[in-house]
Structure 1
Amino acid sequence: MNLNPTDIIEKAYLYWAGSGDGDFNVTLNSTAITPDRTFAYSRFFDTVEFTYFSAFKDITTLVQSTGNGTYTLSDLDISAFEELHLQRRTNFAGWAIIIIYKNDNLPLNQINIYDGLEGVPDELAITLDNLNVIDNLNSKVGFLAWEGDTLLATEEFRINGDLLSNTLNPSTNVFNGTNSFTGNTTLYNMDLDVYDIQDYIAIGDTSAKISLTSFQDFVMINTVVTKLNSQLPDATVTIDAVNKACDSRTIVVNYTVANLNCTGPLPAETPISIYINGQLIEITETTAAIPVDGYATGQVTLVLPDSVPDTFEILFVVDDKGDGTGVVYEMVETNNTFSVSETLGTSPTFNPLANLVSCNEGFTQATFDFSAYETSVKTDPENSVGFYESLEDAMNGSNPIFNTHNYTANVTPKEIFVRIDNENCYATTSFLLTSRNCPPTVYNYISANNDTRNDTFTIAGLQNIFLDYKVEIYNRWGKLVWTGNQNTANWDGYIKEGLGTKNAPDGTYFYILYLNDPDYPEPMSGYLYLVH
């Protein structure tokens, strides 16, 4: 191999063939080779079966790393069938490498490779599809054939009915053991030939028919290669995102149509068919031509029929009119689909939650325990539950309340929002935290000796809760000795009203507590004992 430094190898394909059932373990430059694909052909002569084989291997990586130099194939053994085939003079073995290379100085070409193993005992016709001839200048067709002989006059190679020939290959003896690349005329049992066909195809052709005849000699065609100055797109499609709303059968699909690894633009209005579980739902199309190596994004809104289950498959097929056929000839016709499995979201159900009431701790502050609501709100034990102080936090799933056992609401009433999540959706509910003024607790013993213990008349659950309360204290003879409210300190044993200012004597006193609260219309009363 002797490529120019600017030639970049894109693909390299090894073919080997021979008489018999096949040898599929060969060596190329000390590398063991086993085929990616194999071909077989057989024919009978006087009731005796003669078999032939061919094999294919993609050796692109090997050739790219080896580069220019000598390639040697070894260990190709047909000896077990040599004696049989010698009877018909069809004992042979051979190999060839077909290389596709790129050079930016070359015109834009379309290379098609067709392979198989077909015999030409009399006549063989092959239709070459997937062509797109936009310029027939310098178009060529070549073939790899086996078991040809020289000095025959009954062989022809035609394209679209026109007879082909060149300097090495007479029009009546095309399978004559020649190599058009090296000029070799003694290749023996093998042909590597290339023909100019620019005069035999027309701009706009999408296929060509080649026909081969060999009425005197047995010939097999292994590979046909066409080179056309041509442009073909290659449309592919991907589903980028499927946006679904819970409890809705409307979905919005974002998708991308690309035109990569190709030689021509993808036309505008290329159809895109959309299937749900194999059922055609809608057909859309590209809005503008997509250049080589370009792409275009799109969005489509689909309303799923009621017959579609909650879990379904979305299939996008580009270049599909909805019946499995397309309108664009492409480089590759088998990469036009993309599918994803999706599940519609249904919001979780939940149990209603009762409002909670707790004692006012002052200025409507109260403490609550709603930890049990994490379980009681769920109808499905697999769901997850979170508590939040605002609906916005609940919808975003942010800033959850962690202390549900001993939660302090600084001001009541306060609404607590609950988010219930299943695998796909969420629902929200709420409950109200309110406080009430619980009955105060009277501590009726005063030891007014400034030892910091029981120095004043204390009523727990009163201050900052019953904001309009009034306390009156009387001595045993019914004389009012002290009056207090929200704005006064607790009674510390001093008489300040009606009797001057002095220490009240030790003894029993009586109090009347007016809460001035609708829940407590009657005053509370009782006795207290004072000592110094």
Structure 2
Amino acid sequence: MKLKRIYILFVVLFGSIVGTNGQNVSLYNQFNGRYDFTFIGNTLNIQPNGANDACILLSSSDAVLNLNPNDVIISAYLYWAGSGTGDFEVKLNGVAITSERNFAAIQSSNGNPFFSAFADVTALLQTSGNGQYTFSDLDVTPFLNPFTYCNNGTNFAGWAIVIVFENATLPLNQLNIYDGLEPLSTAQVGIQDQLIINLGNLNVLDNSGAKLGFVAWEGDANIANQESLLINGNIIDNPPLNPGNNAFNGTNSITGSNSLFNMDLDVYEIQNYVSIGNNSVEVKMTTAQDFVLINTIVSKLNSQLPDATVVINSIEQECDSRLLIVNYSVSNINATNPLPPGTPISIYINDVFVAYDETTLPIEIGETVNLQTSFIVPNEFPIEFNIQIVVDDTGNGTGIVPELVENNNTFSTVVTLWVSPTFTSLENLIACNEGFTSGTFDFSTYEDAVKTNPNDNVRFYETIENAQNEVNPILNTANFVATSTPKEIFVRIGNENCFATTSFLLTTRNCPPTVYNFISANNDAVNDTFTIDGLYDIFLNFKIEIYNRWGRLIWTGNQTTPKWDGLVKNSIGNEKAPDGTYFYLLFLNDVDYPEPLQGYIYLNH
């Protein structure tokens, strides 16, 4: 809360305690390598705000970027802010910019809102490079009326670009960009409010060049009451531009300007407040009167550490085996130092340690190495389990390598062991012998009968090799002709990864023959001979005897003789047998038919 005269009176008369709230400043992005940062930006206020402020804001303002020739822009983030609930459509060098992330804060003493917006403008700055940048079309005038921001001196608008650049001559640094919109205020004059941000996961090997940058809004040069910036408990300043009791006072320490009304773009050297070996830095901001909005903090520290990450690329396994071959990658991408050889790698199943591996060579900054390890899954684990691989882990959850980030060393996934499908045994099939042990079979229902999992697929094959290789399946299972029997049919039952095989036999039996007992031996090609279906080529040793009505044997036949056509032999040749009824005996000479079949035949010429 900005405690102008009217609010001081309010506190004195009523003793009210007021507070503020907003979106916490937290880590947005991190850069590790030969990087540094700078700011450009400008205010849209024409003068410091206050009781006598005309409450006029500009429609545009300019700033100049002047990087060194070898500085390469890596990222550029545009922030703009102002009084009110926000304007999220602006322009930079005439290019329309839409906010990608919005922040809000409330001045609790009066409920007045403030906003900040963010857009990634990296491509625009990489294209435009050094030169003048014009920011325009930010309009907060709809929120400015005599009874809100203008009277209490909190009317403002401005913009800033945080620029991260790379230069091969720079040391290896870690840049952290924190953003949000968090107010610093106070309950009453003299009551200090503070904002603390801890920069962790550090390994400061060289404190030379360490610095901290701020994008802040609404600071006033004429309010200096415990408005301090502390690093590890030490007040830092940059007099005369930034005195120790007025850190946020409308200045730009990059250009040396003290007329950046109601915003601050300040960078502080902090090497005297950071010690070699530090693994964290505490940044504290305080105020006992002024109302300040912290939008962005950028830290640069020479923190040389690896940052190991791991990912499982693939897992090889075989059916009905508990041996796993894990192909994985260890990376050291977001790092400022190589990952040393001998970095431990542990594998857990359902949080139980089961296997160990380690790196054998250094992994340089930005590099990834592919590794492989194998182990047998113990029998106490089910076929489905969670596998977790952790780099920099000795097998008990502890590591031995200091890293920039200690909570990104794990990768996990669910694994299901490959198991061959189960199946139901199938009965052998029997069909009538259709000649020389051939037969026709229907095993179309066996597809559903054999599988125990309805999602399995089933195919039938004539050889085991075809079943194993999935070639030449039997397509007509409802009317399959086996040219000889017994014949083994092979069944392949498969799931997504595995298959099993089983088989059943096709066999034939000699079914009873069918006798047609009418002969019209008139050469009309219909019933001209004594016909018996299911006899020839089936009962290979059969014998037929035909007798006339008086019991005289007049004809005999077998597998090799022609069928009887109503003729009988005499002493000269063949003669027609008289029309009438004849009798036959059919000796099948088959173990299933020990007695001859007998019946009558009616002959008609």
Flag whether TM exceeds 0.5 (same fold).
yes
Map of 1:45 onto structure 2: none
1:36-84 residue CA offsets vs partner (Å, 9 max, x unmatched): 3445677xxxxx7898966352434684698453223622467454456
8 A Cα contact 2:89 2:98, kept in partner = yes
Map of 2:296 onto structure 1: 223
Normalising by structure 1, we get a TM-score of 0.74
Q: CA deviation at 1:7?
A: 6.2
Task: Give matches, 1:377-526, under 5 Å.
Answer: 377=450, 386-391=459-464, 399-418=472-491, 429-472=502-545, 484-492=557-565, 499=571, 501-506=573-578, 511-526=584-599
2:103 maps to 1:57: no
Map of 1:72 onto structure 2: 136
1:218-252 residue CA offsets vs partner (Å, 9 max, x unmatched): 76654332234555544444444566777888766
2:355 maps to 1:294: no
1:344-397 residue CA offsets vs partner (Å, 9 max, x unmatched): 777766555432211101121111223344555566777765544445555666
Task: Give matches, 1:176-195, under 5 Å.
Answer: 177-195=250-268
Shift in CA distance, 311/35, structure 1 to aligned 2, threshold 3 Å:
same
Map of 1:130 onto structure 2: 201
The one-letter code sitting in structure 1 at the alignment partner of 2:486 is: P
Unaligned runs of 5+ in 1: 43-47
The one-letter code sitting in structure 1 at the alignment partner of 2:134 is: T
Shift in CA distance, 151/482, structure 1 to aligned 2, threshold 3 Å:
closer
Map of 2:102 onto structure 1: 36
Q: 2:377 aligns with which of 303, 327, 334?
A: 303
8 A Cα contact 1:177 1:185, kept in partner = yes
Map of 2:163 onto structure 1: 99
Shift in CA distance, 492/220, structure 1 to aligned 2, threshold 3 Å:
closer
Distance across 1 between alignment mates of 2:491 and 2:388: 38
Q: 1:144 aligns with which of 205, 211, 215?
A: 215
The one-letter code sitting in structure 1 at the alignment partner of 2:477 is: T
8 A Cα contact 1:136 1:198, kept in partner = yes
Q: CA deviation at 1:437?
A: 1.2
Shift in CA distance, 273/168, structure 1 to aligned 2, threshold 3 Å:
farther
Alpha-carbon RMSD: 5.0
1:304-340 residue CA offsets vs partner (Å, 9 max, x unmatched): 77586x7655555555567776555556666555444
1:396-442 residue CA offsets vs partner (Å, 9 max, x unmatched): 66654443332222221223344566899766544322101112233
Task: Give matches, 1:259-408, under 5 Å.
Answer: 259-260=332-333, 262-271=335-344, 279-282=351-354, 284-288=356-360, 289-291=362-364, 292-301=366-375, 303=377, 313-319=386-392, 328=401, 335-341=408-414, 352-374=425-447, 376-377=449-450, 386-391=459-464, 399-408=472-481
The secondary structure found in structure 1 opposite 2:135 is coil
Shift in CA distance, 55/364, structure 1 to aligned 2, threshold 3 Å:
same
The secondary structure found in structure 1 opposite 2:202 is coil
8 A Cα contact 1:466 1:516, kept in partner = yes
8 A Cα contact 2:225 2:246, kept in partner = no
Distance across 2 between alignment mates of 1:38 and 1:304: 54
The secondary structure found in structure 2 opposite 1:100 is strand
Q: CA deviation at 1:191?
A: 3.2
Normalising by structure 2, we get a TM-score of 0.66
1:235-292 residue CA offsets vs partner (Å, 9 max, x unmatched): 4444445667778887665544444455544444545565666x44546444344442
The secondary structure found in structure 1 opposite 2:593 is coil
Shift in CA distance, 489/274, structure 1 to aligned 2, threshold 3 Å:
same
Shift in CA distance, 280/350, structure 1 to aligned 2, threshold 3 Å:
closer
Shift in CA distance, 107/187, structure 1 to aligned 2, threshold 3 Å:
same
Shift in CA distance, 518/159, structure 1 to aligned 2, threshold 3 Å:
same
Map of 2:37 onto structure 1: none
8 A Cα contact 1:150 1:177, kept in partner = no
1:74-114 residue CA offsets vs partner (Å, 9 max, x unmatched): 2246745445644xxx7755432212244667665432123
Q: CA deviation at 1:199?
A: 6.8
Shift in CA distance, 261/60, structure 1 to aligned 2, threshold 3 Å:
farther
Q: Give the share of equivalent positions with the same residue, in percent.
A: 52
Q: 1:112 aligns with which of 176, 197, 201?
A: 176
The one-letter code sitting in structure 2 at the alignment partner of 1:502 is: N
Distance across 1 between alignment mates of 2:493 and 2:292: 75
1:129-159 residue CA offsets vs partner (Å, 9 max, x unmatched): 2334456565443333452538989887665
The secondary structure found in structure 2 opposite 1:191 is strand
Map of 2:15 onto structure 1: none
Q: 2:87 aligns with which of 20, 25, 42?
A: 25
Unaligned runs of 5+ in 2: 1-63, 186-191
The structure showing larger relative contact order (alpha-carbon pairs under 8 Å, at least 6 residues apart) is 2
Distance across 1 between alignment mates of 2:424 and 2:384: 26
